[in-house]
Amino acid sequence: MQTQKVIDHIVSWLKDYATKANVKGYVIGVSGGVDSGVVSTLCAMTGLEVLLLEMPIRQKEDQVNRAQDHIADLKKKFPNVEGKTINLTPVFESFEDVVHDHVEGRWSNNLALANTRSRFRMLNLYYFGQLHGLLVCGTGNKVEDFGIGFYTKYGDGGVDVSPIADLYKTEIYKLAKALNLIESIQNAIPTDGLWDAERTDEDQIGATYPELEKIQKEYGIKVAEDYEGRDKEVFLIFDRMHKAAKHKINPIPVCDIPEEWREG
């Protein structure tokens, strides 16, 4: 990959888009992971106004530390960057207290509740975006957004622009190195940070990003019978998740009304 050309292209794209949209810049949620680390740095490089929000909800200490260290690092490097920590734990726990329709004994496995964390963060990003005239910048990569749909609908999937959604995770790590992100971000194990217990992306998906990328590049060309061993296992994981995520990946369906019914 021609890393510097990719970096320059994304920065130019972000700057041009914001200028044409007549906004001041971007607001980004910073999680302590490599995707948000790369995206926030690329936004900072535009020279436009950039607001970085760290939004912990019962977050692990290492995630909080990485996010705060990254924000501090960018603020030192770029005068156009501001950062805030908005603790959403009380908001989430207040909601948690009034929700009673979960399955008793399976509270820690409540995916709907986990996704609520992501949706609270989306609300927060749009609040500050509207307040300051900023667009919400997404941090999803190609496997998450268009492969297996590993994101929350109207949560981290609720954004205005997606600058790295055409890049695979392995490519994003190359950008992180080229951009000289802090070591803890470059070495961070991917996790969505939506659970009280530590659950990495690999734990939840059952495959690594390099394994998934191999399948995605061939998906639609090869079928399960073309693979064997571990590759076949990963194909089946990818195929199952991709089909289940169609409602997220495809545009929202619209019920068309025949024109002749509109007459009279």
Per-residue pLDDT tens, the chain, 264 aa: give them: 999 999 999 999 999 999 999 999 999 999 999 999 999 999 999 999 999 999 999 988 888 999 999 999 999 999 999 999 999 999 999 998 888 665 555 545 688 888 999 999 999 999 999 999 999 999 999 999 999 999 999 999 999 999 999 999 999 999 999 999 999 999 988 888 888 777 889 989 999 999 999 999 999 999 999 999 999 999 999 999 999 999 999 999 999 999 889 876
Q: Give pLDDT, residue 101.
A: 62
Structure pTM? Answer: 0.92
CA 110 vs CA 13, 126, 136, 222, 236: distances in Å = 38, 25, 27, 35, 24
- How much is the pLDDT for 99? 82
Task: Identify the pLDDT of residue 60.
Answer: 86
pLDDT at 145: 95
What is the reported pLDDT for 113?
87
- Domain extents in the chain: 3-197
The shares of helix, strand and coil residues in the chain, as percent rounded to the nearest 5, are 55, 10, 35
Rounded CA-CA distance 148/192 in Å is 14
Task: In whole angstroms, give the CA distance from residue 214 to residue 192.
Answer: 22
Nearest partner of 36 among 124, 130, 136, 149, judged by Cα = 136
Q: In what order do the strands lie in the sheet with 134-136?
A: 81-85, 49-54, 25-29, 134-136
Average pLDDT over all residues of the chain: 93
Residues 42, 60: contact at Cβ < 8 Å?
Answer: no
User: 106 burial class (0-12, 13-18, 19+ CB within 10 angstroms)?
Assistant: exposed
**3-197 — its CATH code?**
3.40.50.620
Contact of 147 with 240, CB cutoff 8 Å: no
Backbone phi and psi for residue 257, each to the nearest 5 degrees, phi listed first: -105, 125
In tens, the pLDDT along 201-213 reads: 998 999 999 999 9
Per residue in 153-183, pLDDT (tens digit) is: 999 999 999 999 999 999 999 999 999 999 9
Could you give the percent of the chain with pLDDT greater than 90? Answer: 81
pLDDT at 106: 54
Task: Return the pLDDT at 198.
Answer: 77
CA torsion through residues 121, 126, 132, 138, sign: positive
